[in-house]
Structure 1
Amino acid sequence: AMGNIGQNVELPQYTEGLYDARELAMSRMQAEAEALHAEGIVGVRLRAHGHRWGGHTTEFFAIGTAVRPLRADHHIPTPQLVLPLTDG
């Protein structure tokens, strides 16, 4: 343990907890969309927010827009994912 002083060391339990919390936030968002009979979720943003009152407390927000047809004959096109490779 003394050999790690001053070095960046991963804390596996903390990392696993962060992954689990992120997955829980996304699962809750998906469950809410399913309850609305949505066909999908667009514009998803995943935000992590640390709190001053808890040094190792992180809150995750999964925010998106549930998409569903306006009427029975309405077709929702499949979204195309576009990731720009430049800042421009």
Structure 2
Amino acid sequence: PLGMVMGSCVYHIAHQRMGAKIGNIGRNVEIEQFTQALYDARELAMSRMQAEAEALHAEGIVGVQLRQHSHTWGSHTTEFFAIGTAVRPLRDNHIIERPTMVLSLDS
């Protein structure tokens, strides 16, 4: 382990125009501005965490946690916070295996 790395992004999500709000009453529709803002904020937080790891000359980040918070002080504001541990191999011939994720569809 080289150290703890983190990235944060607080993002304001634009309001929907009045005409769009009225047109969507009673309909279950995606608000594209909101979706794109969430994607952008998440990517910014993770890229900032990655930049900290690169500054430490890490080869990977383990134990990553990504949290999203909506704050009461800003109803159209969201925060993404990414944190993990930057790591590198112990020896030149040590290989860090790529993680594999398996999701079970069984109960």
Whether TM-score is above 0.5 comes out as yes
Q: CA deviation at 1:46?
A: 1.4
Structure 2 distance, partners of 1:35, 1:3, is 48
Q: Does 1:14 align with 2:34?
A: yes
Partner of 2:88: 68
2:97 is matched with 78
Match of 1:36 in 2: 56
> Is contact 2:46-2:82 (8 Å) kept?
yes
Partner of 2:5: none
Counterpart of 1:60, as a letter, is: F
Alignment of 1:47-58 (within 5 A): 47-58=67-78
CA drift at 1:74 = 6.3
State the TM-score, normalized to the length of structure 1: 0.80
Q: Structure 2: state its 5+ residue gaps.
A: 1-18
C-alpha root-mean-square deviation of aligned residues, in Å? Answer: 2.1
Structure 1: how far apart are the matches of 2:106 and 2:78?
29
Question: Per-residue deviation at 1:66?
Answer: 0.6
Structure number with greater CO (CA < 8 Å, separation at least 6) is 2
Kindly indicate whether residue 29 of structure 2 is the aligned counterpart of residue 5 of structure 1. Answer: no
Separation (CA, whole Å) in 1 of partners of 2:62 and 2:75: 32
For the pair 1:59 / 2:79, whether they are aligned, the reply is: yes
CA deviation vs aligned residue, 1:38-73 (integer Å, no higher than 9, x gap): 011112221111101111211001111110234x54
Which structure 1 residue ranges, 5 or more long, are not aligned? none
What's the secondary structure of 1:80's corresponding residue? coil
User: How far apart in 1 are the matches of 2:60 and 2:66?
Assistant: 16
- Name the amino acid aligned to 2:75: G
